[in-house]
Every structure is written in structure tokens, then in C-alpha cells.
Amino acid sequence: MMPNAARRSERSRTAILDAVLALLRESGYADLTIEAIASRAGVGKQTIYRWWPGRGAVVLDALVEQAAAAGPQALPDTGDLEADLRVVVRAIVAELADPRLSATTRALTIETLSSEAFADQMRDRMLRPQLDTVKDRLRSAREAGDLRPEVDLDQAVELLIGPMYHRWMMRTGPLTEEYADGIVDLAMAALRPGTAGKPRPGTA
């Protein structure tokens, strides 16, 4: 009996995660209730609550499995760092500018701020792999001599990503293509070799 039960469990689990992704595509996070997921997946609500503490956790699992199914991600590498970053930053800004697309990120950010356990999951399973695609591109730029060798790659990634999330979260300004290009311009000025300026006192 166990193999059948395990198979049934796995079928339910897959149906639930597929339902989450379909509902996110069709109507967005705001309408994504546990009830709607259960109904779409053909399971009872209690099946969902048995496996996940709430909506954030099941959405995170669905998005992580979707990313895994899509295979390893990488940034474009045309050899032109600035052009490659511009493509990526424009795409992220466009997604943040769309209230429906960014509703999921908004909800996952609230969960991240509300629960340390969720924050660890979010960082390790979803955010870190995304940040690492940028870090890998910066590392290859460094190897090509297009990046100041002394730059901390994690801080360089955050220099690109942090400002746009701050503007999006705090609603402090427009999220336009011109704005995206401005981020890349500033980051390139910070990262490009020969732009280190004068050394800080005490570090020479």
C-alpha cells in the first residue's frame, strides 16, 4: 500500500504546485487563496495546510520548482558587460513596474520580513540563485579585465539590485527604462577598472 499512497501524495503535491503557478499566471497573487489553489488542484484545503504553513510557503515551493524545471539560469554574456547588465536591469525594472507581476515579490518580501525561517528559505532557495547569476557574470567580467579586481562581488551585485528594490518598495520615483539605464551607468562607473579614484586614508 505504501508505494501507492506515496504516489498519490506526490500527485497531489504536483497538482497543488501546478495550480499555484497557473493561478499566479491567470489572476495574480491577490486572488491566490488557499481555497482557490485547493479547488484548482482538486484536493482539500486541509491537504495544503498539512504540507505548508501558509500561502507564502507554497508559492515559494512552486516558484523554486518552476525555476529548477527551467534548468540552470545565466545572464547573457556577449563580452560587453554594460550591454548585458542593461538587458537584465531593464527586465527587472519592467517587472517591478508592473503591479500584477510584482505582487508576488511584494508578498514574498512581506513574508521575508515577518519570519526569520521564511527569510532563510527565501534567501537560500530563491534569491541566492538569482543573485548568483549576476555574480557569475561579474566574475567573468573580472577575468576579462573589465572589472576592478579589488571589488567585492557580493557588494557589486547589491549595488545593482538594491537601489531598484528600494525605489520599488518605497515608491520614491518612476521605474522607467531611463531609470534602469541610470542604474547601469552608475554601477559601471563604480566597477570599471581605472575608476577607483584616490585611495582612502589609512588603506594605502
Contact 69, 28 (CB under 8 A): no
Interaction mask 48-87, a second copy, x per CB under 8 A: ----------------------------------x-----
CA separation for the pair 56, 99 (Å, rounded): 18
Task: Note whether 189 binds a second copy by CB under 8 A.
Answer: yes
* Alpha-carbon distances of 193 from 117, 142, 158, 181, rounded to whole Å: 40, 9, 19, 20
CA distance linking residue 90 with residue 29, whole number of Å: 23
| Interface with a second copy (CB under 8 A), residue from 1, 72, 145, 171 | 171
Considering only 27, 128, 144, 176, the residue that binds a second copy (CB under 8 A) is 128
Nearer to a second copy (CB atom), residue 149 or residue 194: 194
Give the Cβ contact number of residue 32 at 10 Å. Answer: 22
**Is 187 among the residues that bind a second copy (CB under 8 A)?**
yes
> Cα separation of 158 and 175, whole Å?
18
The piece of 9-17, 21-29, 42-50, 185-193 that touches a second copy (CB under 8 A) is 185-193
Cα–Cα distance, 54 to 48 (Å, whole number): 8
Q: Out of 122, 141, 147, 153, which residue is the one contacting a second copy (CB under 8 A)? A: 122
Residues lying near a second copy in the complex (CB under 8 A): 82, 106, 109-110, 112-114, 119-120, 122-123, 127-128, 131, 148, 151-152, 154-156, 158-159, 161-167, 169-173, 179, 181-183, 185-192, 194-197, 200
